[in-house]
Amino acid sequence: MWTDGDSTDEITVRDPAAPEDPIVAFSGASETQAEEAVSAAAAASDNWAATTPDDRDTILYEVAERIDANRDALAETLTREEGKPISSGRGEVSRAAEIFRFFASYARSATGETIPSSDPETLTYTVREPLGVVTLITPWNFPIATPSWKLATALATGNTVVLKPSSETPMIAKQLVELLAEVGVPNGVVNLVVGSGSTVGDALTTDERVDGVSFTGSTETGQHIAETVATRGIPIQTEMGGKNPQVVLPDADLEAAADAAISGAFGGCGQACTATSRLIVHEDVADELTAAVVERAEALSIGPGLDDPDIGPAVSAGENETNLEYIEVAEKEGATLQTGGGQPATPEAGYFVEPTVFTDVEPGMRIAQEEVFGPVLGVIEVADFDEAVRVANDVNYGLSASIFTTNMAKSRSFTKQIEAGVVKINGTTTGSHVQMPFGGMKASSSETQKELGQHAYEFYTHEKAIYRSDP
């Protein structure tokens, strides 16, 4: 059942490439409506947990089929709301289908262990059971992939959910939930709440009937939610910011390193938590690599996502203003602008910013320490491998990192020393495989609760230790 929002919050969805004409405007959900969504999830919880693994598996596979069948329509909605190039939108939709297929199998295999007992008359084993009701809070930058990896895992393990997507990209979330309803997910199992965090946030995280919270978004908001939820002692999963380094040593393939830097820094307009924001380069090859990166950056096309350029717009006026502010700060702090740094002459409308490269970046500068969620890359020169690792680790974040080298000893040492949850050897900082765990260290993530991968279901389940002594 779809219900109009009844709060005073006005949610206006705009195409960031043509923001003068809103796509849709509506009232957001109220706190009371958020509480009603939790009530619906709680009422459906026992029945959904009791469904057979076969039934949940079948439903999630069917969701994947529906996503694939509707790929083009879903991608167009995604691009119109978020702005990314349509080819990237199609790729994200296909990834969502892949995610549902992968986690469908966990409806059958999310299990416990048999453990040797100290007593020969006692059987000791563990079982995993669903948490119950979980709140899923998702961002705008991957508006179908991120909800999918949370939803698919939660549903496969028998939980009911309340999904709160970003107010910047609510329509793609609505279409995803509609597909879930079409394949027969029972009423109350999946509930969508579109509203501002200030209005519905507490209702979705502090309600006593909520048994777990999974959040992806800004570090500030994630830390606030974690602190709020901690008082209740329920599981909390947070995926937050990044300040991801790409280290390049003198023996690296510089062409491949330049390609990776461009993809990592400017793909998706730099709006990814795993985006490459620091290019840490050995001084012996810094000039050559910088020249290659600048040349590639200046060749990138910019335009509306539906035209499938290399770079689309930032998602909103606020995000674009922040990008331009960071560029101004970097120049004031003494970094040297090599290319970009402003809004392109064309397109005339939309939230566009040129792909920007700075050199002479010092590790303590704000551009080297703070997350810039846009197409801005800072080049930092270092004298040797040890300095490169020190600089890479000298931030509050620890999500993703990469190194380009042909030296196996150096790459092994890097994987041991780097403070990051995702480490790439001769690859870009962005991208992840559904079968691999995803999460970071330090201020990037709740480190013990990973998403994706073979054990992602652990967050969404309780583990019980069973001692069985038959009479």
| H/E run at residue 289 | helix 286-299
Distance CA 336, CA 455 (A): 45
Q: Return the structure tokens found at 367.
A: 């551009």
In the three-class reduction of DSSP (H, G, I as helix; E, B as strand; rest coil), residue 451 is classed as strand
**Degrees (nearest 5) of the Cα angle 182, 184, 186?**
120
- Answer whether 232's CB lies under 8 Å from 153's CB: no
- Answer whether 323's CB lies under 8 Å from 55's CB: no
Using alpha carbons, select from 153, 111, 119 the residue that is nearest to residue 136.
Answer: 153
Return the exposure string of 286-312: e unless at least 16 CB atoms fall within 10 Å of the residue's CB, then b: beebbebbbebbeebebbbbbebbbbb
- Answer whether 148's CB lies under 8 Å from 99's CB: yes
> Per 3-state DSSP, what percentage of the chain is helix, strand, and coil (rounded to 5)?
40, 20, 40
Distance CA 297, CA 300 (A): 5
CA separation, residue 278 to residues 205, 294, 384, 428 (Å):
34, 14, 16, 12
Is residue 273 part of the annotated active site? The answer reads: yes
| H/E run at residue 55 | helix 53-69
Single out the catalytic residue among 40, 194, 254, 273.
273
Phi/psi for 131 (5° steps) reads -65, -45
- Judging by DSSP bridges, how do beta strands 356-359 and 336-339 pair with one another? antiparallel
Distance CA 2, CA 190 (A): 12
Angle of helix 170-182 relative to helix 145-156, nearest 10 degrees, comes to 30
In the three-class reduction of DSSP (H, G, I as helix; E, B as strand; rest coil), residue 104 is classed as helix
Distance CA 92, CA 434 (A): 12
Other C-beta atoms within 10 Å of 237: how many? 25
Query: Which of the residues are catalytic?
Result: 273
